[in-house]
Structure 1
Amino acid sequence: MRSVAGLLVGTVVGITGVGGGALMTPILVLMFGIAPQTAVGTDLLYASITKMFGVAVHHNHGTVDWGIVRRLAMGSLPAAAATLAWMHYGDAHQIKSGFIITAVAIALIITALGMLLKDWLHRVGRSLRVTDESYFKHLQPAATVAAGVLLGVLVTLTSIGAGALGTVMLVYLYPMRLNASKLVGTDLAHAIPLALIAGLGHLSLGNVDYGLLISLLLGSIPGVLIGSFISTRAPLTFIRYAIAIVLGAVAIKMFTV
């Protein structure tokens, strides 16, 4: 069953770039009864390995904007490292599971709202880009780094946000530069180092289940390859709305755990 869950989530990630942590962490907690801190840590390493295979496909098709990846990483990687340092030296990794569940639920709601508003944000970004091009382009680098900082903190704490919120931020910041395929490929490429650093940090805190990790990878690796190949043909808007609705329902369920 765990490998099947990995296959399904991996396929969604490959198609949309969305859904890794946002789907897998709640599945591990609600369906398999995994401790929240272990679910977060294991999911981060699972996501970093799974997305490597998806990025390889996107890179071969030229659908990764490495300049944007670098800008995001300039903010996200130091933020992830700082968050891990706080967790380690402040003993924050020993916080109660209830707090983690609440944090995950809040992250899911933010993610769902972001996915539902994605088209509107894209229109707003496109309008600003057209009406005041020089000012918008002047702010792009700093705004992208700031977006990376937010993602770095959120992903390290909850394993959620690298895909779903990342794509929402990118459609606003780069409404003309990224088409649908490049949006997915670029977001996946940035998520790898972020999830890897955060996952290794959780590994050092003892928040990773190796057996669970292997089971998930057995399903997710073929899933993400399948999803990446069909990403240009999939009805992305429909899938995004469906995922957003599911995430909202899961968030409500997690508030009652």
Structure 2
Amino acid sequence: MIEIVMFVGLGAAMGTLGGLFGIGGGLVAIPTLGVLFGLDQQLAQGTALLMVLPNVLLALWRYNQRNRISLRNALMLIIPSFCLAWLTSLWAVRLDAHNMRLGFVVFLVILTLFNLIQMYWRKGDFSPELRHPQWLWLLGVGSGVTGGLFGVGGGVIATPILTGIFGASQVAAQGLALALATPSTAITLVTYAVHGHVDWQLGIPLAIGGLASISWGVRLAHSLPERLLRSLFCGFLVICAVVLALKV
């Protein structure tokens, strides 16, 4: 019983960070599960997905209540992302866990650099209509590959790309990113679960704690300046990469 309470509390902490950084908790949970609980990379990713999926569903439902998501644009992202996430996850569950962890560290470093560039990249005026929406499927492909391989990445990289390249407003980008992440997260979780890479006794309490706290993290995020928030996120990614690198 004490362990369950501890797991719920840990899930609440990760859910808060997930809401704060707009990442659903996955980038927080995977390093934590690998370092604190000694899970191999695939098991850490699969268990984190069990926590992330309900968080993303809740965030998508609440977001769509306030800001309607364009179904056409969402489908252009969702269809290729879903297919690529499924195919890539089938490959990911068969990879060597050590190499997977090394690849995840590299992914965190690239993600950090990407966000740092976004901090100083001057963006143009935003418009209700996306620029070059016919190329959204390419973003769906890239997001599906990273989501299927690492269990995270689709929604994390989609928002800055949608604002910086496609000219979406921040709220429109966040809604599309959530819509993009939901189906690919679900199919990736199913794949990992079928191959035994989910710790249900650990993941379910984490999910409960995350659901209880993610909304508070979102409110906290809206109270902070955007540059400070992005700086904190980059610092967090660097810490995760360094800690995981020491475990490789």
Q: Note closer, same or farther for the CA distance 1:239–1:2 as it changes in structure 2 (3 Å cut).
A: farther
> Which of 108-117 and 166-175 deviates more?
166-175
Question: Aligned match of 1:164 in 153, 156, 175?
Answer: 156
**Structure 1: distance between partners of 2:149 and 2:187:** 12
**Structure 1: distance between partners of 2:55 and 2:161:** 22
Residue aligned with 1:18, SS: coil
Aligned to 2:56: 51
- By relative contact order (CA 8 Å, sep 6+), the higher-ranking structure is 1
**Structure 2: distance between partners of 1:171 and 1:106:** 24
TM-score between both structures, scaled by the size of structure 2 = 0.86
Q: How big is each residue's C-alpha offset from its partner over 1:149-204, in whole Å with a ceiling of 9 and x where there is no partner?
A: 111111111112123212222122332x323x333333223211111111111111
Decide whether the 8 Å contact of 2:158 with 2:173 is kept in 1.
Answer: no
Aligned to 1:133: none
Aligned to 2:102: 102
**Structure 2: distance between partners of 1:252 and 1:50:** 26
Q: Quick one: which amino acid aligns to residue 154 of structure 1?
A: T
CA RMSD of aligned residues (A): 2.5
Aligned to 2:211: 221
Aligned to 2:166: 174
Decide whether the 8 Å contact of 1:25 with 1:39 is kept in 2.
Answer: yes
Decide whether the 8 Å contact of 1:13 with 1:19 is kept in 2.
Answer: yes
Decide whether the 8 Å contact of 1:13 with 1:227 is kept in 2.
Answer: yes
> Identical aligned pairs, as a percentage?
23
Q: How many residues align?
A: 241
Q: Following TM superposition, by how much is the alpha carbon of 1:24 offset from its aligned partner in structure 2, in angstroms?
A: 1.2
Which runs of 5 or more residues in structure 1 are unaligned?
131-135
**Structure 1: distance between partners of 2:190 and 2:100:** 18
Residue aligned with 1:163, SS: helix
**Structure 1: distance between partners of 2:155 and 2:227:** 15
Which runs of 5 or more residues in structure 2 are unaligned?
1-5
**Structure 2: distance between partners of 1:3 and 1:235:** 29
